Amino acid sequence: MNVIRSLLIAAAAAVLAAPPAAAQTAPKLKVGLMLPASGTYAALGTAIENGFKLYVAEQGGKLAGREVEFAQVDDESDPAKATDNVNKLLKRDSVDVLVGSVHSGVAMAMAKVAKDTGTPLIVPNAGAAAVTGSMCAPNIFRSSFSNWQPGYAMGEVVAAKGHKNVVTITWHYAAGDESVRGFKEAFEKAGGKVVKELSLPFPNVEFQALLTEIAATKPDAVYTFFAGGGAVKFVKDYAAAGLKKSIPLYAAGFLTDGTLEAQGADAEGLLTTLHYADDLGTPRDKAFRLAYAKAYKVQPDVYAVQGYDAAQMLAAGLTAVKGDLTRKPEFDSAIENAKIDSPRGAFTLSRSHNPVQDIYLRQVVGKENKLVGVASKALADPGQGCSM
Ligand code: BEZ
């Protein structure tokens, strides 16, 4: 009898000693960051990571009560390695959520795996049409743009300036091709003509022969998509070839975002279109820029904003399900219906999960992409091929 009594007392003591359910710590949330840490897009990857981590730090390191930890791979902006890299995050590191990447080809490989496995994926840069088009899925979201968006907006701007014949030049892969396609669609709809489409393989930066061809063609203007290290070299080579004085250069804003320190005077005056500018001057953007500069000792760029907003989107989903990622439909629909309070200006997502956002016209003045105006208000990617 005494033995039974002591056992009961011990059991009761154990129950009392256990923390109440509410006080039990939620399991950590493992975020897999797949970004370039090397190559021409390395700086873009760093800015995205900084932006994402800044938002998490502002929430005390937790989203919906779950402490956030990271697993990372350098994807080298190499689509051939992308499937292996994303599987490392899923199988070796057992991540709960995927965030990546910069390069469109890498993001398409990530989207395929995310679609097959149902793992939530937030794309914090790559603009590939397929990600929010033919590959769209309830668990795939983008916090950045589609390649079409800045290109389309610039097509309207260049036509409105009265230019008739334009040569385009870019890297021949999804980002460059789709950016040019967006530009051409708007420019030709407005009566202009793209007379030559020049390209070179990614990440080649031997521009000389193509610049000679532009000089010989003598178009009214040039439209381009380049980003990162390649953008720095292109702007310098365009000026060194004497073309900046004779043929106006217009671009998707990646040409001059995060690159102005290195481009110096060769970028001065360039007009570009993008969903961010350095001097939006809103209280939201000012607070973000201050916090980012304090944390990282550099000014933020569009990539930092996209990383920050990817974390905001994840937080919106997690908050709705109180951190419980097994409640997938509720998690997905909370992100789908969220209004993201972005430094770029608040945005919502399209039916295919791409930001519906203002595209700004900017001009390089000193080391800043200064706001000229809104080139295209609440521009939505068509999301062609998306059915879900
Ligand atoms: C892309 O590959 O989609 C991309 C890369 C850098 C800047 C913008 C787009």
User: Of 18-27, 112-121, 293-302, 339-348, which range is least confident?
Assistant: 18-27
Distances (CA, A) of 292 to 57, 163, 307, 308: 11, 39, 12, 10
Q: Is the dihedral of CA 388, 123, 225, 293 positive or negative?
A: positive
Is the Cβ atom of 254 under 6 angstroms away from ligand 1?
yes
Name the 3-class secondary structure at 269. coil
Name the 3-class secondary structure at 98. strand
In this prediction, residue 157 has a pLDDT band, given cuts at 50, 70 and 90, of very high
71: CA distance to ligand 1 center in Å?
Answer: 22
Structure tokens at 34: 């797949």
| Residue 47 CB contacts under 8 Å (≥ 6 apart), including other chains | 258, 300, 301, 303, 304, 307
In this prediction, residue 26 has a pLDDT band, given cuts at 50, 70 and 90, of confident
| Res 5: pLDDT | 53
Q: Give nearest CA residue, ligand 1 atom 3.
A: 126
Is the pLDDT confidence value at 4 over 70? no
Is the Cβ atom of 175 under 6 angstroms away from ligand 1?
yes
315: CA distance to ligand 1 center in Å?
Answer: 24
Testing ligand 1's pocket by substitution, the residue of 125, 232, 302, 305 carrying the most ligand atoms inside 8 A of its CB is: 125
Testing ligand 1's pocket by substitution, the residue of 40, 78, 104 carrying the most ligand atoms inside 8 A of its CB is: 104
- C-beta of residue 369 within 8 angstroms of C-beta of residue 272: yes
**All domains of the chain, ordered by start, with CATH?**
24-145+280-353 (3.40.50.2300), 148-274 (3.40.50.2300)
What are the pLDDT digits (tens) for 217-257? 999 999 999 999 999 999 999 999 999 999 999 999 999 99
| Res 15: pLDDT | 43
151-188 burial, b for 16+ CB within 10 Å, e for fewer? bbbbbbbbbeeebeebbbbbbebbbbbbbbbbbbbbbe
Separation of alpha carbons 106 and 111, rounded Å: 9
Ligand 1 atom showing the smallest separation from residue 179 Cα:
9
Is the Cβ atom of 249 under 6 angstroms away from ligand 1?
no
| Res 129: pLDDT | 98
189: CA distance to ligand 1 center in Å?
Answer: 25
- C-beta of residue 138 within 8 angstroms of C-beta of residue 168: no
What are the pLDDT digits (tens) for 313-363? 999 999 999 999 999 999 999 999 999 999 999 999 999 999 999 999 999
Is the Cβ atom of 227 under 6 angstroms away from ligand 1?
yes
Q: Give nearest CA residue, ligand 1 atom 5.
A: 103
pTM, entire model? 0.94
Testing ligand 1's pocket by substitution, the residue of 147, 171, 173, 226 carrying the most ligand atoms inside 8 A of its CB is: 147
Helices 104-117 + 79-87 axis angle, to 10: 30
16: CA distance to ligand 1 center in Å?
Answer: 56
| Res 17: pLDDT | 47
Ligand 1 atom showing the smallest separation from residue 128 Cα:
3
In this prediction, residue 25 has a pLDDT band, given cuts at 50, 70 and 90, of confident
